[in-house]
Amino acid sequence: MESENWKPNFTIRFNSTQTPSKELGSSRIIMAAIEILDLEKSYLVGFWRKRPKLALRPLRLTVEEGEVFGFLGPNGAGKTTTLKLLMGLVFPTAGTARILGKELDDPAVKSQIGFLPEQPYFYDHLTARELLNYYGQLSGVPAKGRAARVEQMLERVGLSGSASVQLRKFSKGMLQRVGLAQAILHDPKLVFLDEPMSGLDPMGRREVRDLIQQLRSEGKTVFFSTHILSDAEALCDRVAVIHQGELRGVGAVADLTSGTQGKIEIIFYAAKVPAGLTALGAVARISGDMVNAVLPEEQQDAALELLRRERLKLISLAPVRNSLEEYYIQRLQPTDVEKEDEEDEARNEENRKGVGV
Amino acid sequence: MNSRVGYIAFNTFREAVRDRVLYNLIAFALLLSGAAILVGEISIDIERLVVVNLGLTAVSLFGVIIAIFIGIGLVSKEIEKRTLYTVLSRPVRRWEFVVGKFFGLTGTLVVNTVCMALGVFLALLYVSHKFEKMDQWVLVALYFIVLQFFIVCALALFFSSFSTPLMSAVFTFALFVIGSLAEDLRGFARITHGLGGWLATGIAYLVPNFSALNVISQVAHGDPVAGRLILYNTAYALLYSAMAISGAVLIFQRRNLK
Ligand SMILES: Nc1ncnc2c1ncn2[C@@H]1O[C@H](COP(=O)(O)OP(=O)(O)OP(=O)(O)O)[C@@H](O)[C@H]1O
Ligand SMILES: [Mg+2]
């Protein structure tokens, strides 16, 4: 144990073409890919009397390099707002953020990141190939090899067949594919995707899942927002849940879904729920010729004994695992403070109405 | 020029071409050839005057209309359609985008004007069967018209950076009209006293001096243009456009995209 400690944390391979220092930099020093430091955004709304509307409460979040990070939240939660702040498309009311250790307005950052906006829209006078070539130019992809890279990207998102069609003739899902291609075109270290699966057919969704997996295996950092929890569960190392502009929780997917709830689910053939089962604390429901019952773990033996006595055929028995969905829904429950706020708001509303009459 | 500015300018030019902006040349050609044939039939000795006057005025008006209508949408349309998102998330600075768009549109107008200029000279050849030495001043007048386009584009860009497309079009066109009367305004300012005088002077010198850039009737009569005016106008137009563009950049730089 002791003797392991003095060892350097990196190995220098002399047969490698990479320089030792690069090896050190890229594989050992884990740097935060995204550091969000109390980023806050309010929009002015209202036509005559402008009032600020808080779209994002001070958000503090760190995403490590090499991580696939899911950003979850209902409609209007502030996911897109966060991404737009990080891309420098809108400016924060307060707070800062750093990407790959640099300030947001540092142009060096931009060549290392890729961004897919939600419902992307592109210059519709260009063909898919021309658009990617143009974006390659803007991202500083060297002229030599740019055309090949563009073809490779078109291939990767399944658009080779429509490469010479003007984008005004593209369907929504095809535009989404172009969006994905332009986000990874310049081989960025860090990719931001705002609802990458939206508008895609089942095959397309699967391809995007594969794409994200592939990016992970290439060591890229992926930060994506989504409504599809099963995708987040399958793809992400960690997720954050945001609701009404407020961060409600961050966690590693493995932790969130590994635990059991101290309950088991048993399914067996039966026309009705056996009387003894309810006494064991089971919640049961009948579906077709089967009964599905959830009961405390410690009652497992008693339940099996009961089934044997009644000569009922067991189909399955499994611990009830936590799912991301439960975590998500639990995180969306209003906090106490909020409940009070809402009540206040309702009271004020009443008062206003009272005055108006 | 910064290479990204060049790429953006080229894309803007390509967009204008594909959106069939250059089709205005057809209307221009029809107008000019119709006029040339007509004066060739009826008049004596004023063919040149008519062709130059009419040709250059048409070049200027067609161009100003294009400059205003594309200029007001150059940046605002990209914000509206959100095509900017995937541009500004690349290593493109906001000023590079604005300047690139500006050069894209002025480039389009230069190409357009060159085609029209060819038409004007063809019409001249048709009515007077030869080129004369004084025709070189027509080239200078065309150059001044291009300088006008620079200012109009820059103004359209400037207004559209903070107001709606319709208001930007109105503002820019109003400034074009007032600016074309700038010389008269300056004269008026000189003979007016008191508060009105101050106001007139302020306005007269703030609005772009399009009248100094308009030598159409002068060259139509075959009068030469002073070298000093060419120098002065060039500096004036570049400075004025640069200031309007800088204003647009300053506003755009702080702007939250929709
Ligand atoms: N330009 C704007 N002006 C005013 N309010 C805005 C603006 N953009 C967003 N908002 C508000 O900010 C909040 C967050 O919006 P945002 O687009 O970030 O949500 P989202 O999490 O991306 O939702 P969705 O899942 O529907 O895409 C919303 O309440 C929205 O009304
Ligand atoms: Mg969104």
pLDDT tens-digit readout, A280-326? 888 888 888 899 998 898 888 999 998 899 898 999 998 887 788 88
Give the highest mean pLDDT range of A26-35, A302-311, B100-109. Answer: B100-109
Sign for the CA dihedral angle at A76, A82, A333, A257 comes to positive
pLDDT at position A6 is 44
Nearest to A73 by CA among A215, A280, A228: A228
Ligand nearest to the CA of A117: 2
Share of chain B above pLDDT 90, in %: 71
A214 vs A198: CA distance, rounded Å: 19
Interface test with A, best of B2, B89, B252, B257 (most A CBs within 10 A): B89
> Cα distance from A339 to chain B (closest Cα, Å)?
31
Average pLDDT over residues A253-272: 84
Domain count, chain B: 1
Cα angle at B97 between B93 and B103, to 5 degrees? 140
Interface test with B, best of A89, A131, A177 (most B CBs within 10 A): A89
Is 3.90.1150.10 the CATH classification of the domain at A261-324? no
Backbone Cα Rg of chain B: 20
Least confident of A75-89, B74-88, B110-124, B182-196: B182-196
Instruction: Give nearest CA residue, ligand 1 atom 3.
Output: A43
Nearest to A85 by CA among A65, A108, A111, A57: A57
CB A44 within 8 A of CB A208: no
| Residues of chain A with C-beta less than 8 angstroms from the C-beta of B8 | 138
> Cα distance from A90 to chain B (closest Cα, Å)?
4
Q: Is pLDDT above 90 for A15?
A: no
Share of chain B above pLDDT 70, in %: 99
3-state SS class at B181? coil
Name the segment(s) of chain A with CATH classification 3.30.70.980: 261-324
Residue A199 pLDDT grade (very low, low, confident, very high; cuts 50, 70, 90)? confident
Mind listing the pLDDT tens digit for each residue in B29-55?
888 888 888 887 776 678 888 899 999
pLDDT at position A352 is 55
Q: Confirm or reject contact between A126 and chain B (CB < 8 A).
A: yes
Q: Cβ separation of B89 and A113 shorter than 8 Å?
A: yes
Q: Is pLDDT above 90 for B94?
A: yes
ipTM score of complex = 0.91
Name the segment(s) of chain A with CATH classification 3.40.50.300: 10-256
Residue B187 pLDDT grade (very low, low, confident, very high; cuts 50, 70, 90)? confident
Binding-site residues, ligand 1, Cβ < 6 A? A 43, 45, 53, 55, 73, 75-81, 118; B 258
Residue of A59, A79, A118 to test ligand 1 pocket, by largest number of atoms within 8 Å of CB: A79
Average pLDDT over residues A57-66: 94
CB A180 within 8 A of CB A146: no
> Cα distance from A219 to chain B (closest Cα, Å)?
21
Average pLDDT over residues B59-68: 95
Range of the domain at B233: 3-254
Residue of A81, A82, A85, A195 to test ligand 1 pocket, by largest number of atoms within 8 Å of CB: A81
Mind listing the pLDDT tens digit for each residue in B212-252?
999 999 999 989 999 999 999 999 999 999 999 999 999 99
Superfamily of domain A10-256: P-loop containing nucleotide triphosphate hydrolases (3.40.50.300)
pLDDT at position A1 is 39
Ligand nearest to the CA of A81: 1
pTM for this entry = 0.85
